[in-house]
Amino acid sequence: MDEGKYLYCVINESNERNFGPIGIGGRGDEVHTLCFRDLACVISPTPMTKYVISRDNLIAQEKVLEEVMKEYDVLPFRFCTIAAGAEEIRSLLMKRYHELKNLLRDMDNKVELGLKVFWLDLSGIFREIGETDPRITSLKKKMAGKSSPPAVNEKVNLGKEVKQALEQKREAEAEEILDALRPRCVDLRVNKIAGENMVLNCAFLVDKAHEIEFDDLVEELSRKYEDRLKFKYVGPVAPFNFAELVIKWGQEQ
C-alpha cells in the first residue's frame, strides 16, 4: 500500500521538530514537522487508507495534539486528513500562508474548553412540567373530566405540548448557564444535544490568562445546580470548534 502523510495540525514553527513515535495507526511512526517559512504542519507517515472513526484512532490523534499543545498554539486538521506527500503539504502551506497565519493569530494564547450539562432526574423534569405548565395542566384536566378514555388525537396533542415545554425548559436553563459564562470567554459554539436529558453542549474559546477564572466559574455553577444538573467539563483541547482545517485536495492544487 502507498505511503502518505497524516496531518494533525498547523503551528508557528520554522525549524524541524520531532515529537516522538506517537503517530496514529499503532506502528510507532515518528510525528514531526514539515515547514514552509515560519509555518509547519505536524505530520507522520501513514498508509494511504481511510481511518475509521473509532475511540482508539480519535485518542491517538488527540494524544499527538496534546503533546504539540504543550508548546504551541495549534490549528487542528479534521480527522483523517492525509496528503499524498511532502510537496502537497508544502503547496498547501504556501497557498494558504496568510490565511493560516491569521487563524493562528486569532488562536494565540487561547484554549478550547468543552461543557456538557445534563438533567440528573429527567422523570422529575417531566413531572415538573406536568404540574406547572398551564397548557399541559389544562389539557390533563380536560381529559380527566371526561367519562370516556382520552382519544388518540388528545394523547398526541398532549405529547406535543410536553415535548415543546421540555424544549422551552431546556433552552431557558441552558441560557441561564450561558449568561453566566458568556462574559468570561472570547467566543463560544453551541453544539447539538444528544439525548433527552442533555441540557447544553457547548465549546468555549478562552484566553489562557483567564482559564483558571473560567474553571472556577464552571465549578461554582456546578455547585449551584448540583441537585438538578450534572456538569461534564473537559479541556483544554485543540480548537476544533473554532479553527478546524478541512482540506479538499483537489481544490488545493
DSSP 30: P
Report pLDDT digits (tens) over 35-47.
999 999 999 999 8
* Residue 245 placed within a domain: no
For residue 81, CA distances in Å to 5, 47, 90, 197, 252 come to 9, 12, 15, 34, 13
* Residue 247 placed within a domain: no
Place of cell 507522520: 44
Domain span holding position 133? 112-240
- Does one domain contain both 102 and 125? no
**Higher-confidence residue: 136 or 26?**
26
Report pLDDT digits (tens) over 98-141.
999 999 999 999 999 999 999 998 888 877 776 665 565 655 55
Sequence-distant (6+) residues with CB within 8 A of 245 are 9, 10, 75, 76, 77, 78, 81
Contact yes or no for 67/18 (Cβ under 8 A): no
Is 177 a residue whose pLDDT tops 70? yes
- Choosing from 74, 108, 142, the residue where a domain stops is 108
The whole-number average pLDDT for the span 75-81 is 94
Residue 189's pLDDT band (cuts 50, 70, 90): very high
* Residue 118 placed within a domain: yes
**H/E segment holding residue 45:** strand 39-47
- Does one domain contain both 104 and 216? no
DSSP 220: H
- Does one domain contain both 82 and 132? no
* Residue 214 placed within a domain: yes
Report pLDDT digits (tens) over 215-253.
999 999 999 999 999 999 998 999 999 999 998 866 554
- Choosing from 80, 108, 136, the residue where a domain stops is 108
The Cα–Cα gap between 114 and 99 comes to 26
What pLDDT, on the 0 to 100 scale, is given for residue 162?
Answer: 62
Is 152 a residue whose pLDDT tops 70? no
- Does one domain contain both 236 and 166? yes
Is 151 a residue whose pLDDT tops 80? no
The whole-number average pLDDT for the span 37-61 is 92
- State how many domains the chain has: 2
* Residue 12 placed within a domain: yes
Task: Classify 218 as helix, strand or coil.
Answer: helix
